[in-house]
Amino acid sequence: MAGPYKVVSGKTYSLFGIDTSTDLYFTTMRTIAESLLGLCPDQRSLLLHVQKAGGVRIKKGSGYALDDVLIGYIRKTLHDLLKPYTRSVKEHLKSIPLSQRFDKIIRTQQERYHLYMLEIELVNRIYREAFRKSAYKFALLPHCLRDFRPQCKSVPGEMEYVCTGCTEDCFIRLGSQLLKKYGIQPYISITIDQGKLFRRLKAEYPNIGALGIACIPELAQAMRLCIKLGISPIGIPLSANRCARWMKQAYETSFSLEELEKLIR
Ligand code: SF4
């Protein structure tokens, strides 16, 4: 990992774990996925097992027979290897104010974080090629990466705000440059109703791929929404969840530019 990264702790998770870089997290995710694919070589079947472990009802007509022993093994493996990254979840769950008790993202349990982490890795593997071949590719970068910059000079674009590159080390600027190099149109995500936005884009561009950068629960949920709407999703989790939704005000966070380039090159 190069350059501008600072070790940060999130409200519930940090991909730095107990390390000084997020590299180990991404290596761990690849190792877990490879090892589970050794037991269940069909990526889509493994994804359904992971979703079932997280409480998703899998339709009978899915064509896949789900194995409870594998589901139990997935849960245990993830807990053992991923708990260093989600150490703050339990403390956070005890302190959720009444006003946020019904917010599904805010009350995500520790096990669910681990399942989402693997889900993101598997969705990237399954949809990467379809994303690359999409006629129109766009990316949504989270507005929290610029929230604490009162001087932000982003401007309204075709569908969301776009970065004008006013600040040298801003992660939105760095991410946007990289995305453009690979023919992906970057936007700063402001819209709350992503379902409406994605439906409109799908109607406009039938062959479309979406790249998300977001905190873990939001990224996994957005990927599910894209798949449901026939949009090919890939994504990179933020290094830690530190936006105002989690911490009352936005604190600096980051994402791995190296992992982003590995995913899109
Ligand atoms: S570099 Fe872009 S996103 Fe960052 S503060 Fe400037 S205009 Fe805003």
Residue 3: inside a domain: no
Smallest CA separation from ligand 1 atom 1, residue: 165
Cα 247 from Cα 144, distance rounded (Å): 11
| Number of domain units in the chain | 1
**Does pLDDT of 4 surpass 80?**
no
The answer to which of 22-26, 30-34, 62-66, 93-97 has the lowest mean pLDDT is 62-66
Closest CA to 188 of 152, 151, 225, 242: 152
- 32 C-alpha to ligand 1 centroid (Å): 36
> In a mutational test of the pocket of ligand 1, which residue from 148, 155, 164 has the highest number of ligand atoms less than 8 Å from its CB?
164
Task: Please tell me whether residue 170 adopts helix, strand or coil conformation.
Answer: coil
For residue 2, what pLDDT is reported?
43
Residue 222: inside a domain: yes
Smallest CA separation from ligand 1 atom 6, residue: 166
Residue 94: inside a domain: yes
Residue 18: inside a domain: no
78-82 average pLDDT score: 97
- 184 C-alpha to ligand 1 centroid (Å): 18
**Does pLDDT of 25 surpass 50?**
yes
For residue 192, what pLDDT is reported?
73
The answer to which of 3-17, 80-94, 124-138 has the lowest mean pLDDT is 3-17
Residue 17: inside a domain: no
Ligand 1 pocket, CB under 6 A: 146, 149, 152-154, 163-167, 170, 172-173
Closest CA to 42 of 116, 122, 132: 122
Counting atoms of ligand 1 from 1, which one is nearest the CA of 168?
A: 1
Cβ partners under 8 Å of residue 29, min gap 6: 117, 118, 121
For residue 47, what pLDDT is reported?
98
Contact 264, 211 (CB under 8 A): yes
- pLDDT (tens digit per residue) in 40-74: 999 999 999 999 999 999 887 778 889 999 999 99
Residue 1: inside a domain: no
Domain assignment of residue 201, given as a range: 23-264
Look up residue 60 and give its amino acid.
Answer: K
**Does pLDDT of 1 surpass 50?**
no
State the pTM of this model: 0.95
Residue 49: inside a domain: yes
- 166 C-alpha to ligand 1 centroid (Å): 5
Counting atoms of ligand 1 from 1, which one is nearest the CA of 176?
A: 2
- 212 C-alpha to ligand 1 centroid (Å): 18
- pLDDT (tens digit per residue) in 86-107: 999 999 999 998 888 889 999 9
Residue 255: inside a domain: yes
- pLDDT (tens digit per residue) in 138-195: 999 998 888 677 789 999 998 899 999 999 889 999 999 999 999 999 999 987 788 9
Smallest CA separation from ligand 1 atom 2, residue: 163
For residue 65, what pLDDT is reported?
86
Structure tokens at 228: 């449901």
Counting atoms of ligand 1 from 1, which one is nearest the CA of 172?
A: 3
Counting atoms of ligand 1 from 1, which one is nearest the CA of 166?
A: 6
What average pLDDT does the chain have?
Answer: 94
Cβ partners under 8 Å of residue 90, min gap 6: 110
For residue 169, what pLDDT is reported?
84
Smallest CA separation from ligand 1 atom 8, residue: 152
